[in-house]
Structure 1
Amino acid sequence: MSLNIPVLDNRSYDQLVAEVKARIAVHTPEWTNLNASDPGITLLELFAFLTDNLLYRSNRIPEANRLKFLSMLGIPLQPATPGLGLVTVTNAKGPIEAGPVLPAGTELRAGQVAFATATTLPVLPVTAQAYIKRPHTPDAESRQRYETVYQTFLETDTTMLSYYAPVRLEEPVTGKPDAVVDLVDSEHGTIDRCLWLALLAPNADLAAVRAAIANQTLSIGVYPAARIDGRALITPTMNSDTIDPGLLVEIAEPDPSPLAGEGFGIGPARYRRLEQSYAEPVLEAPGVIQVKLPPFEKLLVWAFDPAEEGAGDYPPRLDDPEVSSRLVTWLRLRYPTDPHAASEAEAEPSPEHAADDGKDGCCCCGDGFDLLGSPEPSTRLTWVGVNAVRVAQAVQVTDEQLGLGTGTPFQVFTMANSPIIVDVEHPFLVEVRDDTGKDPDTWVRWQEVDDIFAAGRDEQVYRLDRATGQVTFGSGLAGVRVPRGAFVRVTYWYGGGLLGTQPIGAINSSAALPGGFTVTNPLPTWGAGAGESVADGEAAISSWLRHRDRLVTATDFADLTRRTPGVDLGRVEVLPLFHPEADPTQRVPGVVTLMVVPRSDPLNQQSPTPDRLFLNAVCAWLEPRRLITTELHVRGPEYLKVWVSVGVVPVPGQVPAVVEQAVAAAVRNFLSPLTGGLEGNGWPLSLTLRTQDVEAIATRVPGVRYVHSVLMAAALPSSSGATVVVSPLPSVALTGLQLPDATVLVSTGEAQDPRAQAQPIPLTLVSVPVVPATC
């Protein structure tokens, strides 16, 4: 049953005035002038107004008591989440020397929105262009000519030529789909599992640039492709004491030769693995790899013979003289043949091991657990650049004075800014100085706890509410009280909110950069989200009392997933005992699969699909709340392409075109993953799509007299494994995570053949010549 909050007194101002006027005739019958101009009536109206205000405040007492009781449960609101991003700093017009070293926490701005760098960034006077060797199939005449030109490379009878076209990786552009390159796709991606970076000088003396970057640290930013199938949270296994970025960073190492000229070398294609001073798992999330460049005499490029450039393991051919004239050296990011070999660290890579599938030392993260595991890391990349660093929408406040201790139990201080950001890169520090205690003039750091009532009486602890910025100290029995007269100060980071979502190029200023240096974000920021409202927080209390912040039942999985901060979740489905890689009818003990659908998808509004960052946010939120024995898979829908053709007969007097549009919108809405189905919560899983369902929906549309016919086609796998269009179909069976991705065609009269819609549009192939023609 529901408990209604009582109203202590429901009389309004008009009722109070009327009641007092009614009592005049009983208590003072000689008072007969009851007009509004009478001074006595004015006094009565004044007291009625004061009484009305008092009753309003009294009626708030039950609600205040309820909110106070709910706040005692210790369930805070979800704070706003900060926007995250990658930025690059370029020495556009500055001096050609080792540029400034931006410390972690350097403030960058996108208008009035402040961002802070996550790590130290040494700015070097170079830019980079990324290239790949994309497979290419020349015609027979060109093939014969290439075999003649590259005859020297055919050393044995088993050696064959593999043809490619050097393609530059396109920069992301607003409103245009991001470019994607798959390092292991030998048919449409790359032929050598490598992405090549040409380090370019900014129109300056190459020798001066080489001297400026020699023995310096280069920060390489990597943004993996957004689209992935899903993520898995598996039983934890101990990982190594280093972070494996998943890619090997190697630099060209020609043999020095005085005959080749300054900055040039000769010899076979050989590369040296660079020492990594800092690395992040860039194949799983956007991040950076910092490598140490070799000394000046090792920063060389090859002096090619006419037939050598671009052949074999040499870097791709540069046909633009403006680019080749600024080339300082080549780097390549290689995905190893054996990904597990990349986790074997070598402190000092040597030339004889320069091509091994290993990696050198990374920054140490200590012993830990690999909790966000996936069967195979992603090898699809969207952007790679240099002088890059991660940023977060955060502002630092140092040594803010909160006040003096009063010695009372559960003393509360409120910071000047909120919401508070607390993570590894943004620590939160509370210090107390008691000049009357044992250690006067000494600031003592206190520790944060989740539950202050679980603390011992001698523990110097506090509890932080990140959403409101409140710090609560102990009572003396549960945690130490703040001593009377003690000073309390705090150092923290704050920020977050929807303003953290910024487009490409929005982060473009910083007071820390000297003249001639520019900053920009080559990709949109991600992860920003609004904080939880009070109404939503109150509604979540009942569910929290059920699941206690732990993933046990199917309802727990759904409730906690919906509270994921920083994502706009439109739908979540829980499938217990279901493994997305197994047969849909097979029940797998200990496995839970979550299907999540974003509320919107700019790339496909009709069939929204979660991207990498969306899935990462959900996994990071659920991981600390799952049971250790639960194998959790987070996936998006598996859309099955369906074509639906509806023939309708409009009511006389209706405009056929208007009716057709209304029917098409109704059918699309009925098949939608978010608003479809009979209950309007999205098309249900494992529900067979039938033509009768479509006919029923079309019949209910105003202006439709009756439905003439409904035809349906679907892209189904054949016995050979290929996908074929089958039509007509009376029904389409959907299993596992499948949802319909429907293309709807409505016509007046008889339904048209859906196979006409299903025929793929013929592609126009533009051949890329291996050797471009010049004039």
Structure 2
Amino acid sequence: MPMLPPSLDDRRFDDLVEELVARIPAHTPEWTNPRLGDPGRTLIELFAWLGDALLYRANLIPERQRLVFLKLLGMGLQPARPARGIVGLAFAQETELGAHTLAPRAKLKAALPFETLAETTVLPVTGECYIKRRIAPADAAKRSDMLQGLARIHRISGALKAYETTPVFPQGRATPAGVDVFAQSADRALWVALLAPKAAQAPQQPTVNEAARLALGGGNAALPPLLSVGLVPAVKPPTVFEDVTTPVAVPVLWEITTQGRSGFETDYLTLPVQAGTDSSGGLARAGTLRLQLPDESLIWAPPNDVGVNPHAGVGDVPPRLDDPERVARVIAWLRLRPLPGQAVEHLPLAWLGVNAVEIEQRATLEGRVLGSSSGAADQAFALPFGSVDAASLQVEVEAPGRGYEPWTRVDDLAAVSADANVARDATAYELDAEAGTLRLGDGVRGKVPEPGMRVRLALGRFGGGRAGNLAPDSLSELNGIRIDGQPAPAIKVLQPLPLAGGEDAETLALAERRIPARLRHRDRAVTEEDYRRLAFEAPAIDVGRVEVLARFKPRDRRFEVPGVVSVLALPAAPLAPAPNPRPDRPFIERLHGFLAARTPLATELYVIGCDYVAVGVSVAIAIRDGFARDQVLLDATAALRRLLWPLAPGGLDAQGWPLGRALRTRELEVEVSRVPGVDELRGLRLFQQREGDWQALPEIAADGAQVLVLQRWQLPELLSIVAIEGASAPTNLRAVPNPFAEPSAVAVPVVPELC
């Protein structure tokens, strides 16, 4: 039976009234009619109400003991985690032609608090990405005459690489599927056109271009500004049992165009990445970096008009643009290409933009007095909000004659130091990040501030939760302060991708569920249950199912390999039509990194997705009178989808279809027969997909029973299901007739009278 905390007294108001009324004859026998409304009965009810309130408070003691037990274990509730993402910035007014460097923690206009994470420079340019997309051999053959003519015009004696200038991430929008900018281009490079704002009148465009170029180069400033570039690699789901490791840096080179020896010759300057500003890990993950720009005298773009420059777009120069309005605004080109000598053939990107910055769902507070010391031991002070970022927290305490002094956060004041003298004078505090409370020492383990001394929050960042996982284009405006303290001009925000990673604060019920695991494995993965429980505790991912395959080596599809543990994990997802949930690379990387730090040294750990086996089902039923035909067929389809779903509420026990369990038509027939409105099941067939086609499974019994045998690491994936009202199940999933079509009629479109 379950272990539930007992109530110290389970009596309630009605019970107390009944008990008191029953005692009347024993104590006051002359009171023979304790009816409702009697003054004595009213006093009894008042006493019962007071007693009920006291019993309610007494019954909270077990709850308090559980909370105290959690604190003794050092298991505070986990704070909320913030959503994060990358946005692009641009001036709201195109007449703004200066460079403005914004201080960190600029605020975005939204219902929830969002801040920028780092310093960023907003330049009066926009970036448009292009590749020289190679022409397919079939197209090249059709255009052979034209290509030969181009070769003669440009005096090209060798091989000709024909390309088409193709924009990627048009209008700054992301391409979630990704574009392999190296593999799909003829020169294995990504080109970014830096465009000045559009002038009010065409004759003024050269003046605007010169002002934008001056801002890029820094003008009279000692150092040119930095160009902030944001990028998001395209992440594709890993193949079955693919080894997913930590992403490695991509060796690339950033360059900007400059004028060569002649007026039309293009040369390139290498742009170094400012040290400490690359949060992308060398293009390995989503992040930003800042490029050091040259002096404005070296920033140049080759003429793109073939009437001025006949060799525009030919050879190792930027791609040719055919839009005169854009050509007139180009002031320079960035080129991203593999580092010379490195065999980098692929770079799939979902988005790349300039003037980019990372943002996070948190708000920063500074200079808040939390209270004054009473001189007592174990003082507690409440922060303005809960879910504080412990890494950013700065707490200061007044000292007599010395003003505010910083204090240090420790995990446990009892273990601050083995030296009693050091421990007594340690200026340290404990933090409950979820609740937002500080606890100071008791004079033996941690210093006690003098009476009257104030405790101040010097700096702290608060916030988080799933509400911050916003869809693209949810943010539009930013209010920032420049590094010189002056307000920045109006800035608009481009949010190309959704924000992710937000998670609500842990509840008490979830924390209590962690107690047995904490006592059992103490944050170490030893048993299968340890791996399973730890996987569900991994931060920044939403795990829906975990299966531990001991001694299973995924690449070899082989069990009984000593020292190997494979953790099969699926992300949480609601019950929905195909496809089934699959983990992507960030999911597997984060889970592997979390488990690897808790795995014994001699263990070879793999985190894998599931090997799904494509399955199709056809079913024929008879419907009872009084039930809607279409509804019954939809319910039968939904019942089969639920049964074969890999997560809850799927499967025979509502926990997902068991891993490796064979699929039998008899079990599917039972599920369909339970659907309300099904009078009789007249046939059910199983199909397996082979080479893109559905093939019926062989019958293993005279009554037509079928079985799909699965390996111990496989699950079924229901990709096609057909439910009909008829005498037998369809034998071909592709040949099911449309029940609403008339076989003797021909569909003919009719032109409406009014278009």
TM-score when scaled to structure 1?
0.80
The yes-or-no answer on 1:386 pairing with 2:361 is no
- Report how far residue 493 of structure 1 moved: 0.7
Q: Is the 8 A contact 1:253 1:299 kept in 2?
A: yes
- Report how far residue 196 of structure 1 moved: 1.7
Report the counterpart of residue 220 of structure 2 in structure 1. none
Report the counterpart of residue 717 of structure 2 in structure 1. 741
Q: Is the 8 A contact 1:601 1:609 kept in 2?
A: no
How many Å separate the matches in 2 of 1:57 and 1:667? 49
Question: Cα RMSD between the aligned structures?
Answer: 3.4
Change (3 A) 1:559 1:481: farther
- Report how far residue 587 of structure 1 moved: 5.2
Match of residue 185, structure 2, among 185, 190, 215: 190
- Report how far residue 418 of structure 1 moved: 1.2
Q: Is the 8 A contact 2:413 2:446 kept in 1?
A: yes
How many Å separate the matches in 1 of 2:534 and 2:349? 31
Could you list the runs of 5+ residues in structure 1 that have no partner in the other structure?
A: 342-356, 358-376, 717-722, 759-775
Report the counterpart of residue 751 of structure 1 in structure 2. 729
The yes-or-no answer on 1:544 pairing with 2:518 is yes
The yes-or-no answer on 1:610 pairing with 2:583 is yes
- Report how far residue 685 of structure 1 moved: 2.7
Q: Is the 8 A contact 1:172 1:178 kept in 2?
A: no
Report the counterpart of residue 365 of structure 1 in structure 2. none
Matches within 5 A, 1:53-72: 53-72=53-72
The alignment partner of 2:477 has SS state of: coil
How many Å separate the matches in 2 of 1:644 and 1:316? 52
How many Å separate the matches in 2 of 1:288 and 1:536? 35
- Report how far residue 590 of structure 1 moved: 4.5
How many Å separate the matches in 1 of 2:338 and 2:496? 23
Report the counterpart of residue 592 of structure 1 in structure 2. 565
Q: Is the 8 A contact 1:595 1:637 kept in 2?
A: yes
How many Å separate the matches in 1 of 2:33 and 2:640? 71
Matched residue type, 2:396: E
Report the counterpart of residue 637 of structure 2 in structure 1. 664
Report the counterpart of residue 771 of structure 1 in structure 2. none
Change (3 A) 1:96 1:59: closer
Report the counterpart of residue 432 of structure 1 in structure 2. 397
How many Å separate the matches in 1 of 2:735 and 2:334? 47
How many Å separate the matches in 2 of 1:757 and 1:443? 81
How many Å separate the matches in 2 of 1:441 and 1:68? 37
Q: Is the 8 A contact 1:711 1:754 kept in 2?
A: no
Q: Is the 8 A contact 1:172 1:179 kept in 2?
A: no
- Report how far residue 628 of structure 1 moved: 5.1
Q: Which deviates more, 521-530 or 563-572? A: 563-572
Change (3 A) 1:192 1:561: farther
Matches within 5 A, 1:8-407: 8-32=8-32, 34-110=34-110, 112-137=111-136, 138=139, 140-151=141-152, 159=159, 161-164=161-164, 166-170=166-170, 178-184=176-182, 186=183, 189-204=184-199, 205-214=208-217, 215-229=224-238, 244=249, 247-255=252-260, 257=262, 260=263, 265-267=264-266, 270-277=267-274, 278-280=277-279, 281=281, 283-303=283-303, 308-336=311-339, 379-407=347-375
The alignment partner of 1:756 has SS state of: coil
How many Å separate the matches in 1 of 2:590 and 2:414? 30
Q: Is the 8 A contact 2:465 2:502 kept in 1?
A: yes
How many Å separate the matches in 2 of 1:120 and 1:246? 25
How many Å separate the matches in 2 of 1:603 and 1:325? 50
Matched residue type, 1:144: D
Change (3 A) 1:493 1:216: same
- Report how far residue 447 of structure 1 moved: 2.7
Matched residue type, 2:347: T
How many Å separate the matches in 2 of 1:604 and 1:651? 26
The alignment partner of 1:297 has SS state of: helix
Q: Is the 8 A contact 2:195 2:331 kept in 1?
A: yes
Q: Is the 8 A contact 1:171 1:522 kept in 2?
A: no
Change (3 A) 1:413 1:591: farther
How many Å separate the matches in 2 of 1:329 and 1:395? 37
The yes-or-no answer on 1:503 pairing with 2:471 is yes
- Report how far residue 467 of structure 1 moved: 0.7
Matched residue type, 1:253: T
Matched residue type, 1:28: T
How many Å separate the matches in 2 of 1:619 and 1:407? 47
Q: Which deviates more, 402-411 or 559-568? A: 402-411
How many Å separate the matches in 2 of 1:588 and 1:477? 53
Q: Is the 8 A contact 1:567 1:614 kept in 2?
A: yes
Report the counterpart of residue 752 of structure 2 in structure 1. none
How many Å separate the matches in 2 of 1:197 and 1:46? 79
How many Å separate the matches in 1 of 2:313 and 2:613? 42
Could you list the runs of 5+ residues in structure 2 that have no partner in the other structure?
A: 200-207, 218-223, 481-486, 699-706, 737-755
Change (3 A) 1:72 1:116: same
Change (3 A) 1:5 1:208: closer
Change (3 A) 1:58 1:109: same
Report the counterpart of residue 350 of structure 1 in structure 2. none
- Report how far residue 496 of structure 1 moved: 0.6
Percentage of pairs with the same residue: 34
The alignment partner of 1:275 has SS state of: coil
Change (3 A) 1:390 1:727: same
Matched residue type, 1:121: T
Q: How many residue pairs were aligned? A: 688
Q: Is the 8 A contact 2:151 2:160 kept in 1?
A: no
Change (3 A) 1:671 1:32: closer
How many Å separate the matches in 1 of 2:104 and 2:250? 20
How many Å separate the matches in 1 of 2:679 and 2:496? 54
Matched residue type, 2:378: F
